[in-house]
Amino acid sequence: MIRNTDDAPGDICHHARSEIIQAVSKVTLDDFMHRFNDLVHTSIFKSDDTFYADRGAKIQSIEVRSFECLDKKIDSVLQEIIKESTDRINRLQLVASQNEVALEKMKGKIEEERLKGQLIDVKNEHQRKEALIEGEAEAARVNAFLQGVSGVTSSEGALAIFNELRKTEVMKSLASSDAHLYFTPAECDLRLGHNVTYPAPKGASGN
């Protein structure tokens, strides 16, 4: 190395720069833009040049920190390409961000609808249980009433009495509400000053 050069770092740097410039000058602009790193590494690490070996040096790594065009027109084209590439990347990132926001909104709506469906199922199940409880309570009430009057009248008479009592309850409820309902005499089945005679239970004898 001492025998071949008195400025080893500068000598090696200038030679490497020259090799890279020669490699770049042999390709098109499009090839240069797409294979820049490959061109640089190939020109230094895969060449048959003995320059570095003759000086007892071996390059471990190489990095191109900047480059510029000698032709101002080409430099202007490169700047436009860089600007367009940057704008395109920014547009793609904006679209990706908007899509991500829209996707999250969609996921939120799907989750909201799923929860609404679960809420409806819970309400329906609750209403079903309430109706079941009310039905069981009503059945127990009817059964208790029928058992209570079983020794007084027949089963048909007991049902007639129960229906009359229920109708009275409904009429009282309607009378105390703000509803305006109209019934025909047949629907109300009103009996004014009329004694209702119910059939006697089977096997019973009257005095």
- The confidence score (pLDDT) of residue 111 equals 92
- The confidence score (pLDDT) of residue 149 equals 75
Handedness of CA 97, 101, 102, 106 (dihedral sign): positive
Residue 189 makes CB contacts below 8 A (sequence gap 6+) with: 167
- The confidence score (pLDDT) of residue 187 equals 59
> Do the beta carbons of residue 73 and residue 22 sit within 8 Å?
no
Other CB atoms within 10 A of residue 105 CB = 10
Condensed to tens digits (0 to 9), the pLDDT of residues 36-49 reads 888 888 888 877 77
119 token code pair: 């809420």
Condensed to tens digits (0 to 9), the pLDDT of residues 186-205 reads 655 555 444 555 455 555 44
Query: In which residue ranges of the chain is pLDDT below 50?
Result: 192-194, 198, 204-207
Burial class of residue 20 in the structure, from the number of CB atoms within 10 Å of its CB (0-12 exposed, 13-18 middle, 19+ buried): buried
Local structure of 63: helix, strand or coil: coil
Of 64, 57, 65, the closest CA to residue 7 belongs to 57
